[in-house]
């Protein structure tokens, strides 16, 4: 009887885990804000492998920003390049911000070593060359991503975030396929340029080394927690 109960609880937990295994994508809910603050939360269980959404610049949807949780900086990567499982119907740019809205890294185009093209790829500066064959702008090499919550924005070329004096927060135009950190001559984020543009279409940001920003407190995750808890109780007897 005891064994049967163990089996039932284990089957329940495994079954629930299986039910969530294919749900590692966050799909944009409505329209995510420009950001970096405010942003759209991502909620789910386990690794966050992709974010799917769209922009529609003629109708004011210039930028989308999401909260992600980077758990493994050495393997962290975010990309719209097909070489990494991403996609974008427009010339994308990716921007990673800390939880306070300070720029960490950004990229416009994919380095030739990873296939080139107008899609984007970012990672920790220490892994960028091995991952993409691309360069890291000199001051950016000192930046190191630590585990925690970050904000990830996708914009389209050449829409930049600027400080209050209209200086670009990162100089992506100086080397399109390099990894860039903050422009030392810029102050903090104030606004996106958001000039008139016709870019519109879907994107998939492929991710590694990250999880959802939030874990649901009810539903499947709660039930999984209950199942694991019951297993623990039974085993201690
Ligand atoms: Ca959008
Ligand atoms: Ca938006
Ligand atoms: Ca690009």
Question: Could you report the per-residue pLDDT of 191-220, keeping only the tens digit for each?
Answer: 999 999 999 999 999 999 999 999 998 755
Residue 138 Cα, ligand 2 centroid: separation in angstroms?
31
Check residue 176 and give its pLDDT.
Answer: 97
Q: Per-residue pLDDT tens for 92-133?
A: 999 999 999 999 999 999 999 999 999 999 999 999 999 999
Query: What's this model's pTM, rounded to 2 decimal places?
Result: 0.84
Matching CATH number, 25-216, of 3.30.300.30, 2.60.120.380, 3.60.20.10, 3.40.1000.10: 2.60.120.380
Least confident of 14-18, 22-26, 156-160: 14-18
pLDDT for residue 13 is more than 70: no
* DSSP bridge partners of 154: 64, 94
Per-domain residue ranges for the chain? 25-216
CA 22 to mean position of chain CA atoms: 18
Taken as a whole, the chain contains a residue count of 237
Report strand pairing: 200-208 vs 77-79. Answer: antiparallel
Residue 200 Cα, ligand 3 centroid: separation in angstroms?
14
Ligand nearest to the CA of 88: 3
Q: Which residues surround ligand 3, an ion (CB under 5 A)?
A: 91, 108-109, 118
Q: Which residues surround ligand 2, an ion (CB under 5 A)?
A: 31-32, 61, 64
């Amino acid at each position: 009887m005891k064994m049967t109960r163990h089996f039932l609880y284990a089957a329940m937990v495994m079954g629930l885990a299986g039910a969530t295994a294919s749900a590692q994508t966050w799909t944009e809910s409505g329209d995510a804000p420009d950001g970096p603050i405010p942003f759209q939360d991502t909620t789910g269980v386990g690794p966050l492998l992709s974010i799917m959404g769209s922009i529609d610049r003629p109708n004011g949807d210039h930028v989308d920003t999401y909260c992600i949780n980077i758990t493994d900086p050495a393997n962290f990567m975010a990309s719209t390049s097909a070489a990494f499982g991403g996609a974008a119907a427009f010339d994308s740019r990716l921007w990673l911000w800390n939880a306070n809205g300070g720029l960490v890294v950004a990229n416009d185009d994919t380095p030739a070593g990873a296939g080139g093209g107008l899609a984007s790829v970012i990672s920790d500066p220490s892994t960028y060359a091995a991952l993409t064959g691309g360069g890291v702008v000199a001051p950016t090499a000192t930046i190191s991503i630590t585990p925690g919550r970050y904000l990830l924005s996708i914009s389209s070329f050449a829409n930049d975030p600027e400080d209050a004096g209209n200086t670009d927060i990162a100089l992506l135009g100086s080397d399109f396929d390099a990894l860039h950190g903050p422009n030392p001559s810029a102050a903090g984020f104030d606004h996106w340029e958001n000039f008139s543009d016709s870019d519109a279409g879907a994107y998939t940001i492929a991710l590694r080394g990250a999880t959802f920003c939030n874990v649901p407190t009810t539903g499947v995750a709660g039930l999984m927690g209950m199942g694991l808890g019951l297993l623990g109780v039974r085993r201690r007897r």
